[in-house]
Every structure is written in C-alpha cells, then in structure tokens.
Structure 1
Amino acid sequence: MKISGQKVHYFIETCFLQVSLIVGGIEIGDRILIGPRAKLISVNHPLNPQDRHKLELKSVIIGRNVWIGADATILPGVTVGDNAVVAAGALVSKDVPANTLVAGLPAKVIKQIP
C-alpha cells in the first residue's frame, strides 16, 4: 500500500482502510479498521468572508486498535482514543475517550468497552 500526503503520519502495524478522504494533519495508530466511505477531515475554512478561501488545519488523531464504521465522519481537531469504536454514520465533532463506543449525529458515548 502506498500512502502519501503532506503532514500525514502513519504508524501502522495492521490496518484495514476503505476511507473516502485523507487530508494532511492526520495521525493513525496501529491495528485500525476504517469502513467504507468514512471521512477523516482535517481542514476547514474561516467564517470571515475575506478569509474564506484560506484553509485552517486542525489535526485528527486516531489511536491504536480503533474501529471507525462505514460512513462515519471525523471532523477537524478530533482525537479518537485507543480501543474506541465509532459507529457507522456517526458525526464526530468532539474527542472520543479511549475504550468507548460512540454513535449518533452528533456522536455521543453509548457505552464503555471493557
């Protein structure tokens, strides 16, 4: 597998990727699963109309042994903790604690994972 990009860091031992978009400023840990059409988005645009053409980079960090379901969206600046599960279709706008399952729009903690 060839993965490239500016400011994209991969520390991967084992992974399964079917991701729609990876932009710079993303760190992905070992043993991850990323489902079809999942989106990891690390850029946004300023609200100010004069600056809207510019990009704002906010890193996305995916921990070790994370499972991101199909059609999930991880927004800029989010960290997903080790062993977490992001349910299919979830919209993640805040950090996901380690060892938790999150789901929904917006994503919320559903339960702890032992």
Structure 2
Amino acid sequence: MEANKGTVKIGNSVFLNRNCSIISCERIEIGEGTSLGANVLIYDHDHIYVREGSQPWNEIKSSPVIIGKNVWIGANTVILRGTKIGDNAVIAAGSVIKGEIPSHTLAYQERNTVFKEIS
C-alpha cells in the first residue's frame, strides 16, 4: 500500500489477500467488511499519454476510488481511477473495473476463448 501525496482509508474488518497493491495519489477508500482476493490492484491515477512527441511520464490524471461496505472483489481484478463500487457488490475475478458499480450488483466481463490451429 502506498499513498503518494494521496490518502488511503480502510474500514474495519477489511481482508486483503496476498499481493494486493493499493496506490493512491489522490484518495482511495475501502469500506468495512470488504474482501479483496489475491493480486487485486487499485489505482486512483494513471499516466498522461500524448499522441506525438515525448511522453510526460511524470504527469498523472487522478480521481478518487470509493469501494463500499461488504464488497467482494475477486482475485486478479484491477480497479482504475474514478471508480465507485456500491455496498454489497461482487466483482468477479479477473475483471478490469472503471466507473460506477451499483450496490447489490455482480459485475463481470464475458470473455470468449478462441482456438486456432497452429500451421
């Protein structure tokens, strides 16, 4: 966990499994009773990218991440800046989350496995 000019607020009875990374440049809040599976990454910022010329790698965009109470976040999930997850939500393993997830909601991304013969 790292707060680089930002803040991290973690409620009571929060469980963080192995290898979770929480990095704040603005504000990250995790409500009480929330559980994070292994390898969950939470960032309230990302780098600015410009189409041409030198990249301003030292410049960032940030917006708070707010995670409600009693949320279950599956393993290998990435939560990006500007995300708000309501109380009692479930985030499926392997998800990439940005934006608002309402309370009492299961969020997941459908994926297809593609098989191609090797020639």
TM range (shorter): 0.7 to 0.9
- Length, aligned pairs only: 104
Deviations 1:25-63 (A, max 9, x none): 211111000000011111111222556321112111100
Q: Which amino acid aligns with 2:56?
A: R
Which residue pairs with 1:42 in the alignment?
44
Q: Which amino acid aligns with 2:15?
A: F
Matched residues in 1 for 2:2 and 2:75: separation? 22
Equivalent in 96, 99, 109 of residue 94 of structure 1: 99
Matched residues in 2 for 1:66 and 1:55: separation? 28
Structure 1 runs (4+) greater than 4 angstroms displaced: none
Equivalent in 8, 29, 32 of residue 30 of structure 1: 32
Larger mean Cα displacement after TM superposition, 43-52 or 77-86: 43-52
Residue 56 in 1 paired to residue 56 in 2?
A: no
Unaligned 5+ segments in structure 2 are 112-119
Larger mean Cα displacement after TM superposition, 92-101 or 51-60: 51-60
Could you say what the CA RMSD is over the residues aligned between the two structures, in angstroms? 2.0
Matched residues in 1 for 2:110 and 2:63: separation? 21
| Higher-Rg member (1/2) | 2
Which residue pairs with 2:20 in the alignment?
20
Identity rate, percent: 32
Deviations 1:53-80 (A, max 9, x none): 2111211110011010000111110001
TM-score, with structure 2 as normaliser: 0.77
Matched residues in 1 for 2:49 and 2:78: separation? 21
Unaligned 5+ segments in structure 1 are 107-114
- C-alpha contact (below 8 Å) 2:31/2:67 kept by paired residues: yes
Q: For the structure 1 residues 79 and 105, does the alpha-carbon distance in structure 2 shift closer, same or farther, using more than 3 Å as the test? A: farther
- C-alpha contact (below 8 Å) 1:91/1:105 kept by paired residues: no
What is the SS of the residue equivalent to 1:89?
Answer: coil
